[in-house]
Structure 1
Amino acid sequence: MNIDRRGLLAAAGLAAPSLALAQGAWQPTRPIRMIVPFAPGGSTDVGGRLIAERMGETLGQSVVVENRTGAGGAVGVEAAARSAPDGYTILVATNGAFTLAPHLGLMRSVDVRRELSMVSLIFTSDVIVVVNPRLGVNSIGEFLTLARAQPGRLSFATSGVGSGTHIFTELFMAVAGIQMVHVPYRGSGQAMADLVNGTVQVMLDQPASSIAQVRQGAIKALATSGMQRLPLLPELPTFTEAGLGEATSQSWGSIAVPAGTPPAAIERLGVAVREAVSHPPVVARMAAAGLDAAGNTPAEMEQVIARDYERWGKLIRERNIRVD
């Protein structure tokens, strides 16, 4: 599933003038807790914190970020789902929790589609193909030639079996007609470290966690998965330009609340989120982190989830991906 970032930003901008209209329906009277189910510094955390800051300004109450890590995000997701449905707990939800985990038997303690309700998209993020420079390739074409000539020789790092980086790489391999050895890690930090030192040769990673190493020359970027070229690395071809259009994909983050949250609270929070993602300073800071600020309605977000759920479920079955 790919999302038209320009269209969503334009739609998000329409929400800003209506902010005052929503204030009479529901107005928070105490701080709001934002649960981020991953450690500080990653894309989900960065995007959430930027939104939280602006939401606090427009809602007149602080939005306090709480990192609840563990079990690949399941700890934080469960904490949000079990919270009171009163508008004072929000979750930064990801495509992994809603469209990957259910197919892999993960997050068994939470039925995310039933126990959480969508508020709005907050960002999308492409992934980029990055390699160790010692591999000796200077373009995606050279990389594909090497990988096709030596199936099973190259190894790719991910942040864990069933993670977004794993599933995106499986799609990339299927479309490209290549086979590499999977080396899963417990998180992206050690995966990136081993890519830099050459223990593994390839990784499909989000720009937020790899752009610094690319700019330092520690790793080499070859291509990006989005529909348009990545503004941070405009020299990189897209998968479509590289002849891999069917591998085009994005990760995303959204705001969700416990099921049963009053519709008036969801509406008010949604207006605040969509105003935040159209706020120029937020857009600029997200872009600097490799994220595309974007907003939509709960119904539109459900459509995104439904399409991604089908797409990734099909891939997981075809590639026989399992989490032991």
Structure 2
Amino acid sequence: MSWALSRRTVLAGSVVAGTASRRALAQAGAWPSQPIRLVVPFAPGGTTDLVARLVAAGLQERLGVSVIVENRAGAGATVGSEAVARAAPDGYTLVMSNIASHAISPAVYRGRVRYDPVADFAHIALVVSNPTVWVANPRSGIRTLQDAAAKARGPGGLDVATSGAGSSNHLMVVRMGQLIGVELNHIPFRGAGPAMQAVIAGQVPMMSDSLPSSVAHIRQGSVVAVGMASAQRHPAFPDVPTFREQGFDLASDSWFGLSAPAGTPAAIVERLNRETRAFLGSAEVRARFSELGGTPGDLTAEGYGDFVRREVALWAPLVQAAGATAD
């Protein structure tokens, strides 16, 4: 009797699971039939926002539905990321996952991040990676990293702006201070856009930034590029020396990708990966990213998921060793 009851329970469960599976496949087959929301977990004007708008335009053209960018900044990109982790896994809510939201902030905001950067997301595609650049207000008197070090050791120290606590640029500020031997004054903003405006206005003398959001300002002369945190000089800015050339053993790349809530049907994830990679592979888009100093990604959805997993494992101990916190 108990066996029969158990068997009926198993069969009922199989029917339910089969129905859910068929429903998911049906939804995926009809997808997309309405606008898609792409959440940017930073304020407008920064690299994440810039990349998201390029991706939105590309996907909109390829999918035939509107892709609406929504900025939800706060707490080192964790506010917008958490909102997406809790959203319906139907393919209509995506997030620009990045090195801050999915690798560094969970370690910086210890115990305050209410999502798992691996388990709570279906990671779709790596979009672009690029180096960190440090820029300064032209009136600050800072032209080299040695100038910055001298100011840091002087009265009042050196204020350095970033897109927010928990960003890779925040960690660069902490690590640079350790090399100089003086703690730098980290000035976090709610995104690279507001931080850059503060530097241009002279409210903060210097900024640690992802290269794409600084490119236009460097070329316009609104800010001076002081050092590139890349292994070699960047081809777009051959006159800007690397950190290592200036005596500081630091290199840092930022990365940006596309993710959805965990449980999003595999067929939708694969479709988004396919369309994103096709968009990134076009000569026009590759040229545009090259102008911005970025390298387009080309990973499968599984490959991007593995990439995020490795980044989480890499950055947690580095954050702890550096002593970076959100406070």
CA distance in 1, matches of 2:144, 2:130: 22
Q: In the TM superposition, what is the alpha-carbon distance from 1:287 to its structure 2 partner?
A: 2.9
Matching residue of 1:103: 107
Contact 1:147 1:179 in 2 (8 A): no
In the alignment, the residues of structure 2 paired with residue 40 and residue 199 of structure 1 have an alpha-carbon distance, to the nearest angstrom, of 19
Amino acid at match of 1:70: A
1:302 maps onto 2:305 in alignment: yes
Matches within 5 A, 1:117-266: 117-144=122-149, 146=150, 150=154, 153-175=157-179, 177-245=181-249, 247-266=250-269
- Render the CA deviation track for 1:87-122: whole Å, top value 9, x for unaligned: 333221111111112112366332232211211100
Q: Which has the larger radius of gyration?
A: 2
1:84 matched to 2:111: no
Partner residue, 1:268:
271
Letter in 2 for 1:159: S
Contact 1:96 / 1:164 at 8 angstroms: preserved in 2? yes
For residues 322 and 138 of structure 2, the distance between their equivalents in structure 1, rounded to whole angstroms, comes to 29
Shift, 1:249, TM fit: 0.9
Q: Which amino acid aligns with 1:67?
A: E
Q: Which residue of 2 aligns with 1:279?
A: 282
User: Does the CA-based 8 Å contact 2:174-2:184 persist in structure 1?
Assistant: no
- Aligned-partner residue type, residue 49 of structure 1: R
> Does the 8 A contact of 2:42 with 2:191 survive in 1?
no
Number of residue-to-residue matches in the alignment: 297
Please state whether the residue corresponding to 1:276 is helix, strand or coil.
helix
Structure 2: distance between partners of 1:197 and 1:52 = 31
Q: Does structure 1 conserve the Cα–Cα contact (< 8 Å) formed by 2:43 and 2:190?
A: no
Q: Which residue of 2 aligns with 1:323?
A: 326
Shift of 1:243: 4.0
- Structure scoring higher RCO (CA < 8 A, sep ≥ 6) equals 1
1:55–1:316: structure 2 CA closer, same or farther, 3 Å change rule? same
Deviation at 1:26, TM superposition (A): 5.1
After TM superposition, give the deviation of residue 128 of structure 1 in Å. 0.7
Q: Which residue of 1 aligns with 2:11?
A: none
Residue deviations 1:187-233, cap 9 Å, x none?
43443333234443321112333333323333211211123433432
Alignment partners' CA distance in 2, 1:141 and 1:132: 15
Gaps of at least 5 residues in structure 2 are: 1-27
User: Structure 2: how far apart are the matches of 1:100 and 1:170?
Assistant: 13
Aligned in 2, Cα 1:153/1:229: closer, same or farther, shift over 3 Å? same
Cα deviations by residue, 1:31-85 (Å, 9 ceiling, x for unpaired): 43322223333211221222222223333x2241231413243332233222222
Specify every segment of 5 or more residues in structure 1 that has no aligned partner in the other structure, as ranges: 1-24
Cα distance in 2 for residues equivalent to 1:309 and 1:299: 16
Closer, same or farther: CA 278–207 of 1 in aligned 2, 3 Å: same
8 Å Cα contact 1:120-1:256 kept in structure 2: yes
Matched, 1:33 2:44: no
2:308 partner letter: I
Deviation of residue 149 (structure 1)?
5.6
The 3 A distance-change label for structure 1 pair 241 and 275 is farther
Alignment match, 2:65? 62
Q: For 1:112, what is the secondary structure of its paired residue? A: coil
Is the CA contact 2:32–2:65 (under 8 Å) kept in the aligned structure 1? no
Identity of aligned residues (%): 33
**8 Å contact from structure 2 (residues 41, 74) kept in 1:** no
SS at match of 1:172: helix
Structure 1 residue 248: Cα displacement? 0.9
* Residue pair 2:136, 2:143 contacting (<8 A) in 1 also: no
Task: Quote the RMSD (CA, aligned, Å).
Answer: 2.8
Aligned position for 1:14: none
The answer to whether the Cα contact below 8 Å between 2:162 and 2:186 also exists between their aligned partners in 1 is yes
- What's the TM-score once normalised by structure 1's chain length? 0.79
